[in-house]
Amino acid sequence: MKYLSILGSTGSIGTQTLEIVRQFPDEFKVVGLTSNKNSELLLKQIKEFRPKAAAIMDKGKVDSLLNFSSCQIYSGTEGLNRIAELSEADTVVNSLVGSAGIEPTYNAIRSKKNIALANKETLVAAGSVIMEEIKKNNARLMPIDSEHSAIFQCLNGEKIKEVNNITLTCSGGPFKNYTEQQMQNVTVQEALNHPTWNMGSKITIDSATLMNKGFEVVEAHWLYDAGYEKIKIVIHPQSIVHSLVEFADKSVIAQLGFPDMKIPIQYALSYPKRLMSLGKSLDLAKIKMLEFKEPDFGMFPCLKYAYEAGAAGGTLPAVMNAANEAAVYSFLGNKIRFLDIQRLIRKMMDGHNLIKNPSLKDILDTDRKTKEETSRIIEEELTVNNQGF
Ligand code: MN3
């Protein structure tokens, strides 16, 4: 039996994780849950899964959760960290969105928890610090992402020094066939309409700019100790081949499956076991065609930025991540246009004074300052534009 704390239990990954728990009551028990502000769903989850403790980030909503005797209720960032460190949990599922996921992951590792990580920003912004803690505490870090789950499975029992390269597949997002002209006028609704995956709004925008794939490159570097020159990307619109690894002998191992997040979530939780899935089986004859092509680094410069930030290391990936986060929410709020996201990331990366071996505090400070500065620039540009430029 594994005892789970689920950070972000009311989001897309969180609710799918709970579906798996519901399906395997003899394998998993929920002991902690957290939500950002969805107190209604969190309350339902508390009633169904009977955790020891739960936390809501929005302190104004804590009252609606009280008077539930068997479950301790916390709130705010402090509450989130309580759930991450909960003594009853052996595994923390981190499905938080954005850099808010960094500290709880760090705290959970230091409390000797195994981590099932869906929060990309943790490894992108703080990979060096997180991996050091993983080693020190002898914790297990399992990826909840179709690509990294695939690579993990391809590398199982293999030696990283016998790997020639790792190829991450990428659906290409909704704008893979757009011209630059079309890209300039992309609406929020179009960007939220992902062709193969149904996800939260932040990661869906990241998938449209391909920043998401850039993040996955940086994550793959940390998770598998692979140099950036060994990590490649191929566009694969059907999202059936989830990633592949080429070995020294030119043998290539890939992992395939329907694009269903429950497969990587379940594997991250059940590893080293495999549990029966109720999903449908992959029938390649029915799929008929799998396509692959090179990514367009010119049309999707966020891919280049990720390689550049990753290779530079230090605080640069945290800057890229924070600028992106601030810009994506401004785009979702109709304050900037789609292509402004990549422009703002570039601008913030160019203006950064790199800290080479950052502490967690350096990373969190860089994150906060970059978000503030990006938001300030956005507001300034809005004011200028509204004055008739
Ligand atoms: Mn992915």
How high is the pLDDT of residue 67?
73
pTM, rounded to two decimals: 0.96
How confident is the model over 128-169, as pLDDT tens digits? Answer: 999 999 999 999 999 999 999 999 999 999 999 999 999 999
d(CA 254, CA 169) in angstroms, rounded, equals 10
Is CATH 1.10.1740.10 what the domain over 313-389 is classified as, yes or no? Answer: yes
pLDDT on residue 322: 98
Indicate the helix (H) or strand (E) that contains 54: strand 53-56
The span from the CA of 54 to the CA of 226, in Å, is: 37
SS3 assignment, position 375? helix
The alpha carbon of 316 and the centre of ligand 1 are apart by a number of angstroms equal to 22
Rounded Cα–Cα distance for residues 380 and 156 (Å)? 50
* 376 C-alpha to ligand 1 centroid (Å): 30
pLDDT (mean) for 46-50: 96
The pLDDT value given to residue 87 = 98
Q: How far is the CA of 95 from the centre of ligand 1 (A)?
A: 13
Centre of ligand 1 from the C-alpha of residue 103, in Å: 22
Domain 2-143 indexed as CATH 3.40.50.720 = yes
Look at residue 100 and give its three-state secondary structure.
Answer: helix
Measure 381 CA to ligand 1 centroid, in angstroms: 32
Ligand 1: centre distance to CA 45 (Å): 26
- From the CA of 244, how far away is ligand 1's center (Å)? 13
pLDDT at 331: 97
What number is the average pLDDT over the span 75-99? Answer: 97
- 62 Cα: distance to centroid of ligand 1 (angstroms): 33
Percent of the chain scoring above 90 in pLDDT: 93
In the reported structure, the alpha carbon of residue 364 is separated from the centroid of ligand 1 by a whole-number distance in angstroms of 24
Write down the pLDDT at residue 386. 77
Say how far apart CA 121 and CA 110 lie, in whole Å.
18
Q: Give 228-252 pLDDT, tens digit per residue.
A: 999 999 999 999 999 999 999 999 9
Average of pLDDT values for 342-351?
A: 98
Residue 171's pLDDT is 96
Say how many Å lie between the CA of residue 297 and the centre of ligand 1: 18
Whether 115 shows a pLDDT value over 70: the answer reads: yes
- Ligand 1 centre to CA of 118 (Å) is 9
Closest C-alpha among 267, 265, 274 to residue 17: 265
What residues does 9 pair with on adjacent strands?
none
How many helices and strands (H and E) does the chain possess?
16, 11
Q: How far is the CA of 64 from the centre of ligand 1 (A)?
A: 35
**Location of each CATH 3.40.50.720 domain in the chain:** 2-143
CA distances from residue 370 to 67, 145, 202, 319 in whole angstroms, order as listed: 40, 26, 18, 6
Q: 147 CA to middle of ligand 1, Å?
A: 5
**pLDDT at res. 174:** 94
> 329 phi and psi, to 5 degrees?
-65, -35
From CA 31, how far away is CA 248, in angstroms rounded? 44
Residue 307: in which H helix or E strand, if any? helix 302-312
> How far, in Å, is the centroid of ligand 1 from the Cα of 107?
25
Please determine, for residue 363, whether its predicted confidence score (pLDDT) is greater than 80: yes
Q: For residue 97, report the distance from its CA to the centre of ligand 1, in Å.
A: 14
* pLDDT for position 388: 55
Query: What are the pLDDT digits (tens) for 287-322?
Result: 999 999 999 999 999 999 999 999 999 999 999 999
- For residue 50, the CA-to-ligand 1 centroid distance in Å is 31
Compute the distance from residue 275 Cα to the ligand 1 centre, in Å: 22
* Ligand 1 centroid – CA 145 distance (Å): 5
Q: What's the mean pLDDT when you consider all of the chain?
A: 96
389 pLDDT above the threshold of 70 = no
- Give me ligand 1 centre to Cα 63, in Å: 36
CA–CA gap between residue 313 and residue 2 (Å, rounded): 35
| Rounded distance from Cα 68 to ligand 1 centre (Å) | 37
- Distance, CA 181 to ligand 1 centroid (Å)? 27
In contact, 106 and 367? CB cutoff 8 Å:
no
pLDDT of residue 195: 81
* Selected residue with higher pLDDT from 196 and 52: 52
Query: How many angstroms separate the alpha carbon of residue 330 from the centre of ligand 1?
Result: 23
Reported as a single tens digit per residue, the pLDDT across 267-291 is 999 999 999 998 889 999 999 999 9
Q: Which residues surround ligand 1, an ion (CB under 5 A)?
A: 145, 147
For residue 94, the CA-to-ligand 1 centroid distance in Å is 15
